Amino acid sequence: MTDKAIKPQTSISPAAWGLMGLLAILWGCSFPATRAALGEVGVLTTVAFRVGEGALALWIVIFLRGLPVRGGWRIVAVFAVMGVLNNVLPWSLIVWGQSHIASGLAAILNASTAIFTVSLAALILPDERLTTRKSLGVLLGLAGVIMVMGISALRSLDLTSLGQIAVLAASVSYGCAGVFARRFLSGQPPEVAAAGMLTASSSVMIPAALWFEGAPRLDYHPTTWVALLYLGFIGSALAFLCYYRALRLAGAGNVSLVTLMIAPVSVVLGALIFDESLSLSDYGGFLLLAAGLLVIDGRLFRRFAKPQESA
């Protein structure tokens, strides 16, 4: 990602809202698509399809647009690290977690990504210290996570609890990727950065899937094929293109609000397609997570502060 291409914005245009809504739908649909694929396909193979298809689609876009690739072997190493932190680990953990918990619940827990990103950035980056407001947001978010999981989940550690912990671990990995990208992934067109990460991820996931789960079959149910194709070409390649376009239009702070929009999409689709149901504590935890993210974002505080300043 290039800092020049992504400018901070304080307002969101209708076009940006439209892209953010589309992005929330694309990523929100990835959770039920993953559940659909897991009916016949193993965890590693599902992730291999996603990263392989996504990389192929993005390189085609890069070739057609004539985008430059800069950095030599150094950027290859950066892509490798980002591929592990941003794709291999989190997607494998989320897919495995979804084999034991509802897709809507996985999406809610995935909303904690911003909480962990802010916390890790404060520990590692000197210019990202936790302010009082951000600390309050982190605490609210962590309280939401605890409400969703429940104290009893940490005591029993059954497959359901481990599935929830796996999705949370994916959020931590996403946070590490965000901090790493801030320090090392600069000077590249965003599309090239995404393609490089997915290519590095493919070099790991495709051999691992073939080794542990064997070659994919050709007689999957049509629904399974639709889910696999969706995850790679739509949920990854197209979603990344929309994401970076939204970044240019609205800025990173505004686009982070997409995190709040993904979970409702997944919850609704999970209920409609798979008859999933979530507990009141799950919804309450999501509200706390949402409150934490809004506090970290800070726009509500600024909005309430303006009338006082002008008085």
- Which among 292, 269, 218 has a CA at the least distance from the CA of 106? 269
The per-residue pLDDT for 307 is 53
Helices (H), 185-238: 190-213, 222-229
- Which among 131, 106, 120, 139 has a CA at the least distance from the CA of 29? 106
Compute CA distances 107 → 6, 155, 158, 183, whole Å.
26, 23, 20, 28
Tens-digit pLDDT profile for residues 18-55: 888 999 999 999 999 999 999 999 999 999 999 999 99
pTM above 0.85, yes or no: yes
The per-residue pLDDT for 187 is 67
The per-residue pLDDT for 175 is 86
Angle of helix 89-98 versus helix 43-65 axis, rounded to 10: 140
The per-residue pLDDT for 258 is 82
Name 301's Cβ contacts closer than 8 Å, sequence gap at least 6: 133, 295
Domain limits, the chain: 14-310
Q: Give average pLDDT by consecutive 10-residue segment, the chain, 311 residues.
A: 44 80 94 96 98 96 87 84 94 96 93 84 74 84 86 71 93 87 74 92 97 95 97 95 82 72 91 91 90 77 55 42
The per-residue pLDDT for 132 is 81
- How many Å apart are CA 248 and CA 3, to the nearest integer? 10
The per-residue pLDDT for 153 is 61
Name 22's Cβ contacts closer than 8 Å, sequence gap at least 6: 242
> Which single residue is written with the structure tokens 């505080």?
301
